[in-house]
Amino acid sequence: MYQDKSTKPLLEVIELSKSFTVRKGIFSSLNSNVIAAKNISFNINHGETLGLVGESGCGKTTVGLSVLRLIEPSSGKVKLNGVDITELSSKELRKHRREMQMVYQDPYSSLNPRMRVGKIVEEPLTTFSVANSKEKKDIVSTIFKRVGLQTEDMNKFPHEFSGGQRQRIGIGRALALKPSLIVCDEPVSALDVSIQAQVINLLIDLQEELGLAYLFISHDLAIVQHISHRIAVMYLGQIVEMADCNELFMNPFHPYTKALLSSVPLMNPKKKKKNQNLIMGDLPSPINRPSGCCFHTRCNYVMKRCLEEPPTYQKIKKNHWAACHLN
């Protein structure tokens, strides 16, 4: 269970931005600035899951990688247990690496095919000089049992496992250093639907057992609803709405959030949704971002103000925030 919101958060992300320089064309010498994430702010408490949702290309993975400093943020702060890790040198950052780990999207490419899976899970222990050889073997054996794998499987290679089993190995590797925070980047999107629920339930069980905090990145709203305590909705590199999970699904405020929820298919195809909001047009290019509100080119409620003035992030009600001029 996650801590009360009055306690000090495990992770604080403050005005985080990340931009990339890209060439305008194959034969062009001119460069453009692509804003992948803009002024991202959120907290995650100990033992809490924050779901980060949005369309493909909206910047979710960029945020996750920037939080871990696997890519360097362009600006902003990332505080882990009160320490701003964006100001640390590589040597100083290494001390905090044990506290934060990642589970990757593709269980097929994230595991070294030439290494036995026991060694893959053991590798972080070796890298950080944790325990001797016998202790490492015992730790890896315990982890295999914890993620639902047989200890006899430790000597096998990744190709001998199914996709779901490989993702369990990836989760085991993330657990090796006993982190407080795990960034899960689309951890079940490459798996069969029948296996997805098993992996999600494993993550929930591990959270309850170990007190882990997750930044759970996904485009699948049904999965996010199942695992998250709070949800942040991203559009074109910005968070446009954030609320407790049940509040967001029951009372979405931002037109984009309403459109995302409308896109979730119903179990009964003959049953029509009330107040259905469809997303119009295509996602704009991050190279040529719209002026004013970044969603105005696809919004059903667009006003003149939306074309000119970016909305500020405002409180809708307790634990519910949105950036929209309709407020």
Contacts for 106 with CB less than 8 Å, ≥ 6 apart? 190
Task: List beta partners, residue 20.
Answer: 34
For the stretch 117-136, pLDDT in tens is: 999 999 999 999 888 888 99
User: What is the structure's pLDDT at 101?
Assistant: 95
Q: Report how far residue 202's alpha carbon sits from residue 188's, in angstroms, rounded to the nearest whole number.
A: 12
Q: What pTM did the predictor assign?
A: 0.91
- Has residue 29 got a pLDDT over 70? no
**Band (32; pLDDT cuts 50, 70, 90):** confident
Contacts for 193 with CB less than 8 Å, ≥ 6 apart? none
User: What is the structure's pLDDT at 241?
Assistant: 97
Write out the two tokens for 222.
């049904």
State the helix-helix crossing angle for 163-175 and 117-127, rounded to 10 degrees.
Answer: 20
The single-letter code of the amino acid at 202 is: L
> Quick one: average pLDDT of 279-302?
86
Taking CB atoms within 8 Å and a gap of at least 24, the contacts of 260-265 are: 260/53, 260/54, 260/221, 260/233, 261/221, 264/221, 264/222
E strands within 152-308? 181-185, 213-218, 230-235, 238-244
Task: List beta partners, residue 243.
Answer: 231, 320
Tell which residue, 82, 65, 69, has the closest CA to residue 7. Answer: 82
For residue 297, the 8-state DSSP code is: T
Buried b (16+ CB within 10 A) or exposed e, 248-279: bbeebbbbbbbbbbeeeeeeeeeeeeeeebeb
Whole-number percent of the chain with pLDDT over 90: 71
User: What is the structure's pLDDT at 267?
Assistant: 54
- Has residue 47 got a pLDDT over 50? yes
For the stretch 92-111, pLDDT in tens is: 999 899 999 999 988 888 89
Q: Report how far residue 311's alpha carbon sits from residue 302's, in angstroms, rounded to the nearest whole number.
A: 12
For the stretch 203-250, pLDDT in tens is: 999 999 999 999 999 999 999 999 999 999 999 999 999 999 999 999
Contacts for 112 with CB less than 8 Å, ≥ 6 apart? 120, 158
| Domains by residue range for the chain, with CATH | 11-99+179-252+314-323 (3.40.50.300), 113-178 (no CATH)
**Band (310; pLDDT cuts 50, 70, 90):** very high
**Band (274; pLDDT cuts 50, 70, 90):** low
